[in-house]
């Protein structure tokens, strides 16, 4: 393997590493969103009473959960 090939390989690996880090960030954001939705769903399903709706205003509850 000559120097030119080694440089190309290192550049490729750096770009691949950066891409994987970006994809990991996207997945982490999706996981956080799912955890947040699950938290609200748990609250909403266990405390779905008029008093509960006064505690958490409707605009703070994700639209997907309000449709349940």
Q: pLDDT of the chain along its 68 residues, tens only?
A: 799 999 999 999 999 999 999 999 999 999 988 888 888 777 767 666 666 666 667 677 777 666 65
The two tokens of residue 59 are 């605009």
Give the list of residues 6+ apart from residue 45 with CB closer than 8 angstroms, or none: 68
Distance, first Cα to last Cα, the chain:
61
Q: Using an 8 Å Cβ cutoff, are 65 and 40 in contact?
A: yes
Angle (nearest 5°) at CA 60 between 57 and 55: 30
The predicted structure's pLDDT at residue 39 = 82
CA distance 10 to 12: 5
Length of the chain: 68
Total of domains in the chain:
1
The predicted structure's pLDDT at residue 54 = 66
The predicted structure's pLDDT at residue 19 = 95
The residue range of the domain holding 20 is 3-66
The predicted structure's pLDDT at residue 24 = 94
């Amino acid at each position: 393997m000559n120097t030119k090939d080694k440089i190309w390989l290192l550049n490729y690996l750096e770009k691949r590493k950066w891409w994987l880090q970006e994809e990991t960030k996207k997945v982490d954001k999706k996981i956080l969103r799912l955890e947040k939705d699950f938290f609200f769903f748990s609250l909403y399903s266990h405390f779905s009473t008029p008093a509960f709706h006064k505690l958490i205003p409707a605009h703070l509850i994700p639209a997907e959960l309000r449709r349940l």
